[in-house]
Amino acid sequence: MGMKLTITSLFLIFAISATVELRDTRLQSSYEYVYGSVSKYNPKQAPRITEAVLKYSNEYGLDIKKFTDLGEWESGWNPHIISKKGAIGLYQIVPRHHGEKISLVDNGRLGRDLRKRGVGKVHRRKYFFRIGYNVQMGAMHLRYLLNLYRGDYVKAFVVYNHGFSHRLTKEHVKNEDFHECTFAKGIIAIGNNRK
């Protein structure tokens, strides 16, 4: 039985191969963007960090470039950094503030997974220094904020940095001038400089 190719089947084969090629091109472009950002600051751990950023930005439906810019701004890709306020790691997660919000995003899945592995308390401080865990927490928190602010990255970045109850957040909300926040401007500038 011979195979008969029609114009329609040839067109379909071409369309499928073009779609796969386009997807591969986008993946390569995303990988290069993330790896380029990370390798400037942390070349030794760039492959691991890049993999985690791509995985969790995809899993939580985040713009890969904006999520990458957030990580670069927050920590300069140093997984061991601790801020004066106690924020930890690549995405500067504050264990006492982020745990409850994060649980709302993943329906407690991460906590259950950790308990199965014998971790005990869900948000033990040492886990926030682990690359994959910290990136996942950052992605979950940003997704929570994007859901809250209907996909507005600028508002989400302002609250991500300052928190809900911070004086600056309240001023930006009151005056509706989120674009004037230095933090949001800095993240946007990183993306604009890399285009």
Sorted by where each begins, the domain ranges of the chain are 7-194
pLDDT of residue 116: 57
φ and ψ of 27, to 5 deg: -60, -45
Say which CATH architecture domain 7-194 belongs to: Orthogonal Bundle (1.10)
88 three-state secondary structure: strand
pTM above 0.85, yes or no: no
pLDDT tens digits, 102-149: 555 555 565 555 555 544 454 566 778 889 989 998 998 899 889 988
Report the pLDDT averaged over residues 155-179: 65
Using the predicted structure, report yes or no on whether residue 172 has a pLDDT greater than 70. no
Report the pLDDT averaged over residues 73-100: 85
CB 71 within 8 A of CB 91: yes
Beta-carbon contacts of residue 42 (< 8 Å; ≥ 6 apart): 49, 76, 77, 78, 79
Fill in the DSSP letter of residue 4.
-
User: What span, in angstroms and rounded, lies between the C-alpha atoms of 79 and 28?
Assistant: 24
- 50 token code pair: 């890049």
Identify the band that residue 10 occupies on the pLDDT scale cut at 50, 70 and 90: very low
